[in-house]
Homo-oligomer: A and B are copies of this chain.
Amino acid sequence: MTETIEAVARGVREGRLDPVELAEHALRRAEEAAALGCVVHLDASYALRSARDVARSRQGALAGVPLLVKEIIEVAGMPHRCGSRVFAGRIADTDAEVVQRARAAGAVVIGLSHTHEFAYGCTGTSNVEGPCRNPRDPSRMTGGSSSGSAAAVAAGIVPLALGTDTAGSVRIPAALCGVVGVKPARETLPRGGVFPLSTSLDHVGVLAGSVADARYAVEALSGGRRTGRIGPPRLGVLTNPEPHDNAADVAVVYEQTVERLIAAGATTVGVRLPEWARFTTASLDLQGPEAAAAHAETFPLLADDYQPDVRERLLAAAEVPGWRYVLASQLAAALTAETDQVLSTVDAVVLPTVPITAPLLGAVHAEVASGRHSVRDLLLRNNRMANVTGHPALSLPMPTPGRPAGLQLIAADDHRLFAVAEWVDRIINNREGHQ
């Protein structure tokens, strides 16, 4: 699919494109790509019924756009299994708020996409159905937890998928699969009907093939207004050490990308965000108690039904004392104020989304400049900040002949984020056709 989502929906509204054919194409692609494991529930009859409805109404900003929904987000009548044996047999009664909006805008849900169990993991490897596989190399992981949504967009099954992001769960698989993932500001997309991981940190986001598509979709789902292009932005390059501690392949492509942006007219300034360690403390001490609370009814009864890594995480989460949670809330407020201050001086900050490219399935450690670290720590490292503060953040692919690598942008508000990201995407990915 090379047309933009906006053009597809226009084609449907104007009768030039048939939503039933679009749905059939997506269903066929999903069958062909079944070995990736990115679609955990494919519902042809539901999809075709929706498509026929749209064919009649020919309305909506997302008219006829095939959509996959991360399986922790409720779609009425479809399983609400959250990737887990623990929720086996659960069927959603109602659509999550964001799904209601998508359907009201004419999107055609074709099924549910793979999640790391209960969204509680960043590798996309733990699910009652098995791991999700990276379309660029099925021996490698997708990252997660919105594993299936990123992989399905990368595999050309759908042009748009819904995900969630608590510590990077949209941006990490976007980076590893070579697509765009955006976590808009905390209140942009509603969380009703999404199974919580961490109520303070959870964000709903989207995965798409380009920044223009992601922006168009977020605006369609939130009622936000589309605005014009901007000129070359003022970019904050972080002086914190972590964004410069990358695997060799990521380091090269990141450096080339920043140079290309400067060559195209961007201004760069050194800025410093608060120390990563403070963001990590806030993130973990909020997430643990909130995750343990979300599972307080099921975990004591069904601990053995959880995937081993998620079980271990929940056991540790239950041990975080309440006073640390309270201090973490206060810390998050302080970090938000400090980050606001930094972001007010630039159009966006830029950093690698993830310091490594997709590891092999089963890999536990990976190498960056400073040495060997756990894959999990590396995937999460540059992503927790924007969930603690609620600022919008986005990952877009950097041009590389090798495995995909993502460039992350973080900005003060959605409008500025998308404006800068569209400019960057145009420059580095030659998306002239996309305006």
Nearest to A289 among chain B residues (CB) is: B322
Q: Could you tell me the distance between the alpha carbons of A292 and B326 in the complex, rounded to whole angstroms?
A: 9
Asked if A330 is an interface residue, CB under 8 A from chain B, the answer is: yes
Q: Is the CB of A325 within 8 A of B325?
A: yes
Q: Is the CB of B323 within 8 A of A289?
A: yes
State which of B292, B326, B327 has its C-beta within 8 Å of the C-beta of A321: B292
Nearest to A290 among chain B residues (CB) is: B326
Q: Could you tell me the distance between the alpha carbons of A43 and B324 in the complex, rounded to whole angstroms?
A: 39
Q: Could you tell me the distance between the alpha carbons of A323 and B299 in the complex, rounded to whole angstroms?
A: 12
Report the interface size class on chain A. 20 to 34
Q: Is the CB of B321 within 8 A of A319?
A: yes
Q: Could you tell me the distance between the alpha carbons of A51 and B330 in the complex, rounded to whole angstroms?
A: 39
Q: Is the CB of B323 within 8 A of A321?
A: no
State which of B199, B293, B325 has its C-beta within 8 Å of the C-beta of A289: B325
Q: Could you tell me the distance between the alpha carbons of A292 and B330 in the complex, rounded to whole angstroms?
A: 14
Asked if A318 is an interface residue, CB under 8 A from chain B, the answer is: yes
Asked if A288 is an interface residue, CB under 8 A from chain B, the answer is: yes
Residues of B contacting A91 with CB < 8 Å?
A: none
Distance in angstroms from A94 CB to nearest chain B CB is: 20
Q: Taking A293-B322, A325-B325 as given, write out 19 further A-B residue pairs in contact, using a Cβ cutoff of 8 Å, ordered by the A residue number.
A: A285-B322, A288-B323, A289-B321, A289-B322, A289-B323, A289-B325, A289-B326, A292-B322, A293-B323, A293-B324, A293-B326, A293-B330, A317-B323, A320-B322, A320-B323, A321-B321, A321-B322, A322-B324, A322-B325
